[in-house]
Structure 1
């Protein structure tokens, strides 16, 4: 949970680096929260409580920028430019290639600085 909060504290920090642990722990908690909100929204729709369905898109909008920022920092950690995120536009091959980049090991030193700390900052 500390990794998730550390990413949210660095809300729009596109510079620097993010280790694999930071990125994947943030992604794990993000996916769990999205699943929980989708279930709450479905229950709310079935129970005729439509305001519960708004929690899901509100959360997605709230974490859009932190998600982009941590992805760019993760790409920086592997020595790639943040612009490589736009590989997702290429059908089929782009998302797979981006996933490989995000799962790659970190570089010790590259043009984006020294390796990121192994513990959450904050």
Structure 2
């Protein structure tokens, strides 16, 4: 999946927590939000905050779909609140290859 396709898919599935997301979709979306957030933070803290709020739900949705691709529940994203160990585990899962077949098809 290309950069533009990923952004288009994530915005079209704004709050869709069902289905699966391939690795490239997740990582391109993450790159887009980080870069856009950095650029908008130069424009102003308020604009950056609004952008962050507007992209929070699609970021959670693509994260859940990415976890579905490796046959895990989207609720595993809550492990992010567990410092260091949770972050490492989630990064490992987000970078893992998808599992075929799985229960989220």
| TM-score of the aligned structures, taking structure 1 as reference length | 0.80
1:92: Cα distance to partner? 1.2
> Match for 1:18 among 15, 21, 39?
21
Equivalent pairs, count:
102
User: Within the alignment, does 1:3 sit opposite 2:1 as a pair?
Assistant: no
Specify the structure having the higher radius of gyration (Cα): 1
Q: Report the CA distance between 1:87 and its aligned residue.
A: 0.8
Give the aligned partner of residue 63 of structure 1.
Answer: 55
Q: Deviations over 1:31-51 (max 9, x none)?
A: 11011011222xxxxxxxxxx
Q: Which runs of 5+ in 1 are unaligned?
A: 42-52, 114-122
CA distance in 1: counterparts of 2:63 and 2:13, whole angstroms: 12
Q: For 2:49 and 2:82, how far apart are their aligned partners in 1?
A: 25
What TM-score do the two structures reach when normalised by structure 2?
A: 0.93
Q: Does 1:89 align with 2:92?
A: no
Please point out which of 93, 96, 99 is paired with 1:107. Answer: 99
Tell me the equivalent position of 1:80: 72
Q: Which runs of 4+ in 1 moved over 4 A?
A: none
Q: Secondary structure of 2:71's match?
A: coil
Per the TM alignment, residue 106 of structure 1 is displaced from its structure 2 partner at its CA by 0.6
**Structure (1 or 2) with the greater helix fraction:** 2
Q: Distance in 2 between matches of 1:55 and 1:89?
A: 26
